[in-house]
Amino acid sequence: MNKFNLLVVLLVLVSACKTPEARRPVSQSSGSYVDLSIERNKKMNKAQEDAIKLVMEANPENEYFSSDKGFWYFYNVKDTTDLIKPKTGDVVTFKYEINTLDGNPIVSKDDLGEQTYQIEQSNQDLISGLKDGLKLMQEGDVVTFLLPSHKAFGYYGFEDIIGSNLPIQTKVYLTQVKRNNTEN
Protein backbone atom coordinates (compact mmCIF):
# COMPACT_ATOMS: atom_id res chain seq x y z
CA MET A 1 0.00 0.00 0.00
CA ASN A 2 2.90 2.33 0.78
CA LYS A 3 4.31 1.72 -2.69
CA PHE A 4 0.96 2.56 -4.24
CA ASN A 5 0.70 5.84 -2.25
CA LEU A 6 4.28 6.71 -3.17
CA LEU A 7 3.52 6.05 -6.83
CA VAL A 8 0.41 8.29 -6.74
CA VAL A 9 2.34 11.14 -5.05
CA LEU A 10 5.15 10.77 -7.56
CA LEU A 11 2.69 10.93 -10.51
CA VAL A 12 1.02 14.02 -9.04
CA LEU A 13 4.38 15.75 -8.64
CA VAL A 14 5.47 14.93 -12.18
CA SER A 15 2.22 16.16 -13.70
CA ALA A 16 2.31 19.34 -11.57
CA CYS A 17 5.70 20.30 -13.01
CA LYS A 18 4.32 20.64 -16.53
CA THR A 19 4.64 24.22 -17.84
CA PRO A 20 1.37 25.97 -18.69
CA GLU A 21 0.50 26.33 -22.36
CA ALA A 22 -0.47 29.70 -23.79
CA ARG A 23 -4.07 30.04 -24.84
CA ARG A 24 -4.58 30.81 -28.49
CA PRO A 25 -7.01 33.55 -29.55
CA VAL A 26 -10.36 32.43 -30.89
CA SER A 27 -9.97 34.74 -33.88
CA GLN A 28 -7.03 36.65 -35.22
CA SER A 29 -7.30 40.04 -36.89
CA SER A 30 -4.84 41.11 -39.52
CA GLY A 31 -4.81 44.76 -38.45
CA SER A 32 -6.48 45.78 -41.69
CA TYR A 33 -9.10 47.83 -39.81
CA VAL A 34 -6.35 49.87 -38.15
CA ASP A 35 -4.58 50.33 -41.49
CA LEU A 36 -7.82 51.49 -43.12
CA SER A 37 -8.48 53.88 -40.24
CA ILE A 38 -5.00 55.38 -40.56
CA GLU A 39 -5.44 55.89 -44.30
CA ARG A 40 -8.91 57.43 -43.82
CA ASN A 41 -7.55 59.86 -41.19
CA LYS A 42 -4.61 60.85 -43.39
CA LYS A 43 -6.99 61.64 -46.26
CA MET A 44 -9.33 63.56 -43.97
CA ASN A 45 -6.46 65.61 -42.47
CA LYS A 46 -5.12 66.40 -45.95
CA ALA A 47 -8.58 67.52 -47.12
CA GLN A 48 -9.01 69.75 -44.06
CA GLU A 49 -5.53 71.21 -44.50
CA ASP A 50 -6.33 71.95 -48.16
CA ALA A 51 -9.61 73.64 -47.14
CA ILE A 52 -7.75 75.81 -44.61
CA LYS A 53 -5.18 76.78 -47.26
CA LEU A 54 -8.01 77.81 -49.60
CA VAL A 55 -9.42 80.08 -46.87
CA MET A 56 -5.98 81.64 -46.38
CA GLU A 57 -5.57 82.19 -50.14
CA ALA A 58 -9.00 83.81 -50.31
CA ASN A 59 -8.01 86.31 -47.58
CA PRO A 60 -4.56 87.64 -48.55
CA GLU A 61 -5.07 90.76 -46.42
CA ASN A 62 -4.30 88.66 -43.32
CA GLU A 63 -0.76 87.62 -42.44
CA TYR A 64 -1.08 83.94 -41.53
CA PHE A 65 1.29 82.08 -39.25
CA SER A 66 1.71 78.33 -39.02
CA SER A 67 1.91 76.80 -35.57
CA ASP A 68 4.17 73.85 -34.87
CA LYS A 69 1.12 72.34 -33.13
CA GLY A 70 -0.75 71.83 -36.43
CA PHE A 71 -2.95 74.90 -36.95
CA TRP A 72 -2.81 78.36 -38.53
CA TYR A 73 -3.62 81.80 -37.14
CA PHE A 74 -3.54 85.52 -37.77
CA TYR A 75 -3.71 88.59 -35.54
CA ASN A 76 -6.84 90.73 -35.70
CA VAL A 77 -5.36 92.98 -32.99
CA LYS A 78 -1.76 92.66 -31.80
CA ASP A 79 -0.57 94.28 -28.59
CA THR A 80 2.99 95.44 -29.28
CA THR A 81 3.61 96.82 -25.78
CA ASP A 82 3.33 93.56 -23.79
CA LEU A 83 6.08 91.21 -24.91
CA ILE A 84 5.43 88.42 -22.41
CA LYS A 85 3.22 85.50 -23.37
CA PRO A 86 1.42 83.31 -20.83
CA LYS A 87 3.39 80.35 -19.54
CA THR A 88 2.67 77.34 -17.38
CA GLY A 89 0.72 78.25 -14.26
CA ASP A 90 -0.41 81.70 -15.44
CA VAL A 91 -4.14 82.33 -15.30
CA VAL A 92 -5.68 83.85 -18.42
CA THR A 93 -9.11 85.41 -18.88
CA PHE A 94 -10.53 85.41 -22.39
CA LYS A 95 -13.59 85.27 -24.58
CA TYR A 96 -13.90 83.38 -27.82
CA GLU A 97 -16.34 82.65 -30.59
CA ILE A 98 -16.66 79.65 -32.85
CA ASN A 99 -17.18 80.11 -36.60
CA THR A 100 -17.27 77.88 -39.63
CA LEU A 101 -14.06 77.74 -41.59
CA ASP A 102 -15.57 80.40 -43.91
CA GLY A 103 -16.16 82.72 -40.92
CA ASN A 104 -19.91 82.25 -40.49
CA PRO A 105 -20.92 82.36 -36.81
CA ILE A 106 -21.73 79.11 -35.00
CA VAL A 107 -21.47 80.12 -31.33
CA SER A 108 -20.98 83.75 -30.24
CA LYS A 109 -18.57 84.91 -27.57
CA ASP A 110 -21.57 86.14 -25.54
CA ASP A 111 -23.09 82.64 -25.59
CA LEU A 112 -19.80 81.09 -24.43
CA GLY A 113 -19.15 83.84 -21.86
CA GLU A 114 -15.91 84.87 -20.25
CA GLN A 115 -13.51 81.99 -19.61
CA THR A 116 -10.70 81.60 -17.11
CA TYR A 117 -7.98 79.04 -17.71
CA GLN A 118 -4.74 78.17 -15.91
CA ILE A 119 -2.16 77.42 -18.59
CA GLU A 120 -1.28 73.71 -18.70
CA GLN A 121 -2.57 73.10 -15.16
CA SER A 122 -6.32 73.24 -15.44
CA ASN A 123 -8.70 70.38 -16.05
CA GLN A 124 -10.96 72.78 -17.92
CA ASP A 125 -12.51 71.19 -20.96
CA LEU A 126 -10.96 73.31 -23.73
CA ILE A 127 -10.11 72.10 -27.21
CA SER A 128 -6.40 71.48 -27.72
CA GLY A 129 -6.08 74.15 -30.43
CA LEU A 130 -7.38 76.76 -27.99
CA LYS A 131 -5.05 75.60 -25.20
CA ASP A 132 -2.07 75.82 -27.56
CA GLY A 133 -3.24 79.09 -29.11
CA LEU A 134 -3.56 80.93 -25.78
CA LYS A 135 0.16 80.38 -25.19
CA LEU A 136 0.91 82.32 -28.42
CA MET A 137 -1.06 85.39 -27.36
CA GLN A 138 -0.40 88.44 -25.21
CA GLU A 139 -2.83 90.41 -23.07
CA GLY A 140 -4.98 92.57 -25.36
CA ASP A 141 -4.47 90.42 -28.47
CA VAL A 142 -7.32 89.25 -30.66
CA VAL A 143 -6.33 86.23 -32.74
CA THR A 144 -8.23 84.08 -35.22
CA PHE A 145 -7.22 80.43 -35.27
CA LEU A 146 -7.93 78.08 -38.18
CA LEU A 147 -8.16 74.64 -36.60
CA PRO A 148 -8.38 71.25 -38.29
CA SER A 149 -10.85 68.94 -36.58
CA HIS A 150 -8.19 67.07 -34.59
CA LYS A 151 -7.26 70.37 -32.89
CA ALA A 152 -10.92 71.37 -32.51
CA PHE A 153 -13.82 69.13 -31.54
CA GLY A 154 -12.68 66.02 -33.42
CA TYR A 155 -14.84 62.98 -33.79
CA TYR A 156 -17.34 63.96 -31.09
CA GLY A 157 -18.21 67.46 -32.27
CA PHE A 158 -19.67 70.12 -29.97
CA GLU A 159 -23.05 69.42 -28.41
CA ASP A 160 -25.53 69.29 -31.30
CA ILE A 161 -24.06 72.41 -32.91
CA ILE A 162 -20.83 71.27 -34.58
CA GLY A 163 -20.72 67.94 -36.35
CA SER A 164 -18.07 65.29 -36.32
CA ASN A 165 -14.64 65.94 -37.87
CA LEU A 166 -15.24 69.55 -38.94
CA PRO A 167 -12.48 72.16 -39.10
CA ILE A 168 -13.39 75.49 -37.49
CA GLN A 169 -12.31 79.07 -37.11
CA THR A 170 -12.22 80.49 -33.60
CA LYS A 171 -11.60 84.12 -32.70
CA VAL A 172 -10.04 84.62 -29.26
CA TYR A 173 -9.98 87.85 -27.22
CA LEU A 174 -7.32 87.61 -24.47
CA THR A 175 -8.33 90.17 -21.86
CA GLN A 176 -6.08 89.40 -18.89
CA VAL A 177 -3.01 87.41 -17.91
CA LYS A 178 -2.31 86.92 -14.19
CA ARG A 179 1.29 85.84 -13.72
CA ASN A 180 2.07 82.87 -11.51
CA ASN A 181 4.25 84.31 -8.72
CA THR A 182 5.51 80.95 -7.46
CA GLU A 183 8.31 80.83 -10.04
CA ASN A 184 11.69 82.46 -9.45
Check pLDDT > 80 for residue 56. Answer: yes
Nearest-angstrom CA–CA distance, 163 and 160:
7
Query: Does 184 score more than 50 pLDDT?
Result: no
Where are any strands of DSSP class E within the chain?
A: 65-66, 72-77, 91-99, 105-107, 115-118, 142-147, 168-178
For residue range 145-158, what is the model confidence (pLDDT) as tens digits?
999 999 999 888 88
Computed over every residue of the chain, the mean pLDDT equals 88
Q: Which of 62, 59, 86 is nearest to 74 (CA)?
A: 62
Query: Using one digit for the tens of pLDDT, what is the confidence trace for 96-149?
Result: 999 999 999 999 999 999 999 999 886 778 899 999 999 999 999 999 999 999
Q: How confident is the model at residue 180 (pLDDT cuts 50, 70, 90)?
A: confident
Exposure letters 96-121 (e unless 16+ CB within 10 A, then b)? bbbbebeeeebbebeeeeebebbbee
Residues 11-34, mean pLDDT to the nearest whole number: 71
| Residue 173 DSSP class | E
Q: Give the count of beta carbons closer than 10 Å to the beta carbon of residue 25.
A: 7
Average pLDDT over residues 162-168: 92
- 42 vs 121: which has the higher pLDDT: 42
Statement: the pTM of the whole predicted model exceeds 0.75: yes
The Cβ of residue 147 has, within 10 Å, a number of other Cβ atoms equal to 29
Return d(Cα 120, Cα 47) in angstroms, integer: 30
pLDDT, greater one: 37 or 124: 37
What the chain holds in terms of domains, given with CATH numbers, is: 36-178 (3.10.50.40)
Q: What is the pLDDT of residue 18?
A: 62
